[in-house]
Chain A
């Protein structure tokens, strides 16, 4: 079955093509002509596109004829009124079924690797499959090859699994949206891209996938591109506006991609190959300093894609996209691409390159984890809290990769994080839908009464992310913190990484439970403020349809059970094939301090937001606290800083170059022309037309020749 791994990206690709070329044109053809009635706002949901003909390119953003009713918080549809057209439904069902099939194949492949039953496996524990011979021109041989090994198998499971659930969820969430088909096309495009990235056997294929996920992310973030712009774009409390957010995501990751490309090229020019397996063999012969530099540059790409400091600024703004997008791309998969990259190249990072490479990875990860957690404490938008939480957990994954001896520690956290973060995002999507597209948590509260399934699954996920046993988050976070401690001990008492990760665990527990309590709980609720309470919003929230809570329930299962794979280093054994010595965490004092720290965080959140006995201004009442709060709320003013840098440094440099071009280069060119013309004007004065002047010049020449001859024969000295 491993030989058929190409089916996994092929199935969503086929679904994409069918929806693009068949069902979407049929859907567009079926739309009625526009009714230009004045003042009829709500009736314009199935508003047709007067400009599009059937067969129009689906992924181009055709101008919508009339403004849909867009809430300032996004959401172009009225989920209670508009109906999804028949062909749109058909298209989405095809997409979902394709993803289910892809997931099934991934499971089969994973099972083969899990039981060690892979025919034709090579010495490095995987199989390389040739898909397409791209360039075969003399010494240049580049082929599109897929590499399947244990790492790939688990990533395939994660990507297809979460994508399948998000596809199903989107049939409910995006119902009634005029761009329904386009959404599924772009979702499938993203899935195909991510799969190509994960399956790549060499940097070329990986980079193709890398860029394509960037493109898909841009398209999906800017999905509601014709939404009405908010009044004040730079107020941190307003939800992000899609067009600039999409552009910001693309451009910020571009910075990382620049370093990434340079790193790849350094490796290529030193070793002559892009292939991962060959690189593993060839890099020991490279100059270590150069290799370390190249690996750090490759990590720069991960910094961009995985939203680490300082390129993290795009992820909170990416919340402008629909919530399923946030779940799939910005929680579980695309942002994990950076972690996957480092994990894939881990033998080079750990074995061959200098220690500085992994140190850079670890410290940036640790710092970002802490940094993002501090910002998350203050945010009021539910999706932004989750976004900063994602950034923080990605930092954990990088720390995990940096401090351990295998890539299993970091990867395990990636897998568990995919499960519970996707659950959290999808759950928040249910919540947002229920309260009519309000994302501000201050207007929520006590929702557990109305949405029990959502509340229960989200509670499980919140416990998991806070690191409470026996949930999965504990089993993946604790080894990271413990290994960071050992790393500190081994490196002469350098406990920075341990300190950062441990304190971040406290903050994580606090802000996640703050989120939970503000949304689902509150004073006066059951189970000591955990379940229900005062609802601060308007209207009547209700539970989501089954297409939306079923993925939540399905995701809750790995959130609870996946952690047990970590016992006896089961996951590490699966991933690396080696037997790792296992230390039962419950025998270590460090584990209990970690749990205690998390419990303290939960308790504080409970006191402040659950039963609400402590005032919310506990920390912000005093002037220093208020100042700290303001800095954190404005995300350390980084966006403003970047804006100022671009405005003054980048544009200033551009202006300088422009002036240089105008005055110096053009000046040189025009000046030389002017010089020649002036010279001509002066020289032409010798053309007097008077014969006597010419005669005088001639005899002057005779005298000159006379003098020269005198010198030549030595008559004059």
Chain B
């Protein structure tokens, strides 16, 4: 059935896998970082395909925006560390390859034999049952902040403390003395 979601899925999947491979395999670290940005963008595309607009936007903002810049800054600050001709892989990359292959196959086999695998993830037009007209954003807001209904307020607050700790920690670790 070659309808739009299916085609979109395969295209985005191809981009995703391709850029991931590029990040992992490229010798030049800067080019790898740029492919990482592409990867984040393609992931956002996947989220939109799954009707998770909020997550998609957040992904772009944070990952493709902040994290990529962060990585590029780090690369810039550690520019002379590795010569361009050096072998980017450690000695036991073959072992890592075997492990990864085995893990992939294992997971695929495990999920393939399950009934749940046949669900259709593309939401139907019945989005009204999932939330109101705001789409998923409203619903996520309710789930995060609502003081009366069941919500994840506490984890949210803790996440903010984590961020605080991370900021302080990064500053302390990274400062020159």
Quick one: given A690-B90, A692-B92, A693-B92, are A703 and B99 in contact (CB under 8 Å)?
A: yes
Nearest CB of chain B from residue A702's CB, rounded to whole Å = 7
Inter-subunit contact B102/A696 (CB<8 Å):
no
- The smallest beta-carbon distance between A455 and chain B, in angstroms, is 110
List residues of A (680-712) whose CB comes within 8 Å of B's CBs.
Answer: 690, 692-693, 696, 699-700, 702-703, 706-707, 710
A679 contacts the other chain (Cβ, under 8 Å)?
no
State A591–B177 Cα separation when bound (angstroms): 128
* Chain A interface, >50% SS class: helix
B102-134, CB under 8 A of A: which get 1 and which 0?
Answer: 110010011001000000000000000000000
CB B65 to nearest CB in A, in angstroms, measures 29
Specify which of A693, A696, A715 is in contact with B110 (CB 8 Å cutoff): A715
Nearest CB of B to A697, in Å: 9
Per the bound structure, the CA–CA distance linking A707 and B103 in Å amounts to: 10
Name the A residues within 8 Å of B103 (CB-CB).
699, 702-703, 706
The distance in angstroms between the C-alpha atoms of A535 and B90, with both chains bound, is 112
Some 9 contacts from A to B, beta carbons below 8 A apart, are A690-B90, A692-B96, A696-B96, A696-B99, A700-B99, A703-B103, A703-B106, A706-B110, A710-B106
Whether a CB of chain A sits under 8 angstroms from the CB of B2 is no
Set of chain B residues within 8 Å of A706, measured between Cβ atoms = 103, 106, 110
Interface size class of B (residues with CB under 8 A): 10 to 19
Closest CB in chain B relative to A512 CB, distance in Å: 101
Q: Is B95 an interface residue (CB 8 A)?
A: yes
| Closest residue on chain B to residue A707 by CB atoms | B106
Contacts of B106 in A (CB 8 A): 703, 706-707, 710
Contact A696 B92 (CB under 8 A): yes
Main secondary structure of the interface of B (DSSP, over half): helix
Known: A692-B96, A699-B99. 9 other contacts (CB 8 A): A690-B90, A693-B92, A696-B95, A699-B103, A700-B99, A703-B103, A706-B103, A706-B110, A710-B106
Interface string of A233-261 (1 = CB under 8 A from B): 00000000000000000000000000000
A708 nearest CB across to chain B (Å): 11
Q: Please report B residues at the A interface, Cβ cutoff 8 Å.
A: 90, 92, 95-96, 99-100, 102-103, 106, 109-110, 113
**Quick one: which of A692, A699, A700, A715 contacts B90, CB cutoff 8 A?**
A692
Residues of A within 8 A of B100 (CB): 699
Q: Which residue of A lies closest to B90 (CB)?
A: A692
A335 vs B103: C-alpha distance in the bound complex, in angstroms?
93
Docked-complex contact A703 and B95, CB < 8 angstroms: no
Instruction: Give Cα A690–Cα B89 distance, bound, in whole angstroms.
Output: 13
Residues of A within 8 A of B92 (CB): 692-693, 696
Whole-angstrom distance from the CB of B101 to the nearest CB of chain A? 10
Q: Which residues on the B side are within 8 Å of A693 (C-beta)?
A: 92
Query: How far in angstroms is the closest Cβ of chain A from B86?
Result: 16
User: Chain B contacts of A696 at CB under 8 A?
Assistant: 92, 95-96, 99
- Residue of B with least CB distance to A703: B102
A715 and B113 contact, Cβ closer than 8 Å, known pairs A696-B92, A703-B106, A706-B106: yes
Distance from B99 Cβ to chain A, minimum over Cβ atoms (Å): 5
Chain B residues with CB under 8 Å of A692's CB are: 90, 92, 96
Instruction: Considering the complex, give the chain B residue whose CB is closest to the CB of A702.
Output: B103
A703 CA to B99 CA, complexed, in Å:
8
Chain B residues with CB below 8 A from A690, complex form: 90
B95 shortest CB reach to chain A, Å: 6
A234 to B99, CA, bound (A): 84
Tell me, in angstroms, the Cα distance from A63 to B92 when the chains sit together. 82
Name the distance in Å between A262's Cβ and chain B's nearest Cβ: 70
Instruction: Select from chain B the residue with minimum beta-carbon distance to A695.
Output: B96
Residue of B nearest to A693 (CB): B92
State the Cβ distance, B45 to closest chain A Cβ, in Å: 29
Point out the residues of chain B lying under 8 angstroms from A707, CB to CB. 106
Asked if A710 and B110 make an inter-chain contact with CB atoms under 8 angstroms apart, the answer reads: yes
Report the minimum CB–CB distance from B88 to chain A (whole Å).
13
Q: Mark A613-633, 1 if CB is under 8 A from B, else 0.
A: 000000000000000000000
A698 closest partner in B (C-beta): B99
Q: Considering the chains assembled together, what is the distance between the CA atoms of A702 and B102 in angstroms?
A: 10
- Least distance between A692 CB and chain B CB atoms (Å): 6
Interchain CA distance A703-B109 in the complex, whole Å: 13
Q: Which residue of A lies closest to B95 (CB)?
A: A696
